[in-house]
Chain A
């Protein structure tokens, strides 16, 4: 790219050829008013607010649609520019209602802000104003279409970024209306981003409708907790109440977007029934008690059961969304009292790969690279339901790259696939192996003889060869495995295949995980095969063994195995039959009260400080945004006190930072230990029934999302469970 030299308001600047004036001005912080321009969307130039004065051009020109040229002299504050902007503002205000006092955008409205600078105090318009009927866009987005200024940001977002054209403009001139063409809720899983995009109050958040004004809110930075990206967010709260969650720009993770799940899950904290005091079940009745009584009861029960069974009959299950500090303390505590049964992988069926692969689960490349992949292979990845924002990234790469999929279910994609294989769930490993065979044929020097022997007898057809060729031929290529892969009965084989394929084709590879902190849980050592940072551990029972074998006692940390686990029916039965179930949970509803015997209230998401480690291995710490209600305490404090009551040494933490620092030091000392995957045992046929379990739906993944009212009212909520068993129609 060549460079051109230009001058804006007297600043001599250098800019890339082809960039627009407004981009250059934004970079150096020269403010040009705008409504329709957005850096992540295409240029529409239909609001005409960004008029600037360019030398040698007789009329003012829109800065967002005028490419820079050598020697350009641009003035943004000359009478010509200001005059043009003021005239545009007058036109915009003709039909905009003067209802700022009842508008949720009031106080943070781009039109309101700019009208202070560019608007006249008196309207010359005496004719009738237009009124537009409000649209019903579902439970997440409230509309007031009379306020719309037709910037079309929402339309372009759907069309360009999401790839699902849900909004559009109908009519012309005075009669333009933005709407959904056909009455119906917006269904996309990232729909609520149009609330942020809307420069006026036409689209606002329904769950927080009329609840607060912008100036009352306090903002604290946090990390979203519902997918493995670890999207950066700002939590806006008034007093103890969280009013809304909005995206915090982070180009390497969530860019400027946020999925609906991350945005509206906060509702669970305010609207659901919270556990406010420790509770003990006595003769089938719940009794509120004090912390001291409850903790002593926990200690005596644990001593009794662990003492009697030498730790064999006690099991700890941690949720997917607890902080790394909590899972680290949980494993340190439980191993300290002589029990090794701890796991978070309640949806895993195949544990044969335990102890192999990398300690840190997830990607071996930065997420940003997905944008630039020339070839991407998706393995059982229902991206739109698992990581909506990753789906947007993959979509970006489809502009130039190829995206292929081996998906055992009818995937909904928001991009076009170049190749698609739809094997039955039980055939997933075979199909994938065929791709490796094809790749091996192209590049035969990489695989070991043992591996080649394993692949012997698997035939590759044209599609497999095409997929392999795409991966080999393109330098920037990656293999992405969906959440379902780790739930598959042959997960370890598929992981091995992916690793091998990646080395044969020189691709990046990674697998996505359920919940936001699978990587953190693994590094913290909340798994039976290894302690913190991949350290040695006595063998313990894994989640499957714990949930299917029926232990005397379970210790649940923000985990609801009766819903989350693939063994849910057996899990529920075993939990009900257990002598003592101790649950650390923020919520007092759901089924936990049915089978628990002692419930300890812990702080929910945004109420505790902590760290999440995302799928690419980024450690992201955050402070508590609001305090927990009632007597609820952050989980790490509860675990620390429990350890203190057991008189274990090394539990004198005063802040969650000390906990994470200790773990971080351990992890840094050994690094990411990688144990090479062995060539797995020969491919066995899995039964249809074994493979075709159901996946958790988009809005079912964790206790918080399940309790978010607005999300549960969306059409997407009914996609639970996502059925993997596919009936072939051909």
Chain B
């Protein structure tokens, strides 16, 4: 009995028709494919992409070299060296580097930061062309922060009530 059933199923192309039904059904549905990079999917304000170091509106960097992000980083991707800044003796980093190959984008650094300095932005499409470019230096991170401050601030604002 089983053999006959199997024979008929394959002879009458039942499986194929079943598959085609899905095809036909989807052919008239709304398209969900996004034409990246011309089109982009919506992102959550909590999206964890490329890192940035924020600055205050007066241009002063926020980071105070407390090294909590370095301590909390599960992948040891952050390296910080600190000391008194020459100009005014305030506590600042002399080196702040994130190794993007090590980073697992967990967002712990962002969470641990007492001054909202290190943040993860919505940027996720970046690439490296040369060896060594995966190390984000302090200048690069500050630059990312400056360029995206508006978005970063808006995202923190949107998420503020849940924090």
Contacts and interface: CB of A to CB of B under 8 A. Distances in A.
Contact of B83 (A209, A213, A215, A216): A209
A211 B67 CA distance: 11
Contacts of A209: 83-84
B67 A216 contact: yes
A101 B84 contact: no
Interface in A90-145: 100-102, 106
Interface string A200-244: 000000000111110110000000000000000000000000000
Report the interface size class on chain B.
10 to 19
Contacts of B64: 101-102
Given A210-B91, A213-B71, A215-B71, A101 B82 contact: no
A213 B67 contact: yes
9 closest cross-chain pairs (CB), A and B: A101-B66, A210-B91, A101-B114, A102-B91, A102-B64, A213-B67, A210-B82, A210-B83, A210-B84
Contacts, number: 28
B78 interface: no
Interface in B28-71: 64-68, 71
A213 B68 CA distance: 9
28 contacts: A100-B66, A101-B64, A101-B66, A101-B68, A101-B114, A101-B115, A102-B64, A102-B65, A102-B66, A102-B91, A106-B66, A209-B83, A209-B84, A210-B65, A210-B82, A210-B83, A210-B84, A210-B91, A210-B92, A211-B82, A211-B83, A212-B82, A213-B66, A213-B67, A213-B71, A215-B71, A216-B67, A216-B71
Interface in A305-353: none
Interface in B76-94: 82-84, 91-92
A106 B64 CA distance: 13
Nearest to B67: A213
Report the interface size class on chain A.
10 to 19
Contacts of A101: 64, 66, 68, 114-115
Contacts of A215: 71
Interface of B: 64-68, 71, 82-84, 91-92, 114-115
Nearest to B82: A210
A211 B65 CA distance: 9
For the complex, would chain A's binding face be called helix, strand, loop or mixed by DSSP majority? loop
Nearest to B83: A210
Contacts of A211: 82-83
Contacts of B115: 101
A333 B82 CA distance: 46
A210 B64 CA distance: 10
A708 B122 CA distance: 48
Contacts of A106: 66
Nearest to B89: A209
A376 to B, nearest CB: 44
A136 B91 CA distance: 17
Contacts of A213: 66-67, 71
Interface hub of B65, B66, B68 (most chain A Cβ within 10 A): B66
A210 B91 CA distance: 6
Given A211-B82, A215-B71, 18 more contacts: A100-B66, A101-B66, A101-B68, A101-B114, A101-B115, A102-B66, A102-B91, A106-B66, A209-B83, A209-B84, A210-B82, A210-B83, A210-B84, A210-B92, A211-B83, A213-B66, A213-B67, A216-B67
A683 B114 CA distance: 74
B157 to A, nearest CB: 23
Contacts of B84: 209-210
A239 to B, nearest CB: 10
Contacts of B91: 102, 210
Contacts of A216: 67, 71
A52 B153 CA distance: 49
B89 to A, nearest CB: 9
Contacts of A100: 66
Interface in A177-211: 209-211
B117 to A, nearest CB: 10
A666 B91 CA distance: 54
Contacts of B67: 213, 216
A623 B148 CA distance: 51
B93 to A, nearest CB: 9
A287 B115 CA distance: 51
Interface string A481-496: 0000000000000000
Nearest to A215: B71
A319 to B, nearest CB: 32
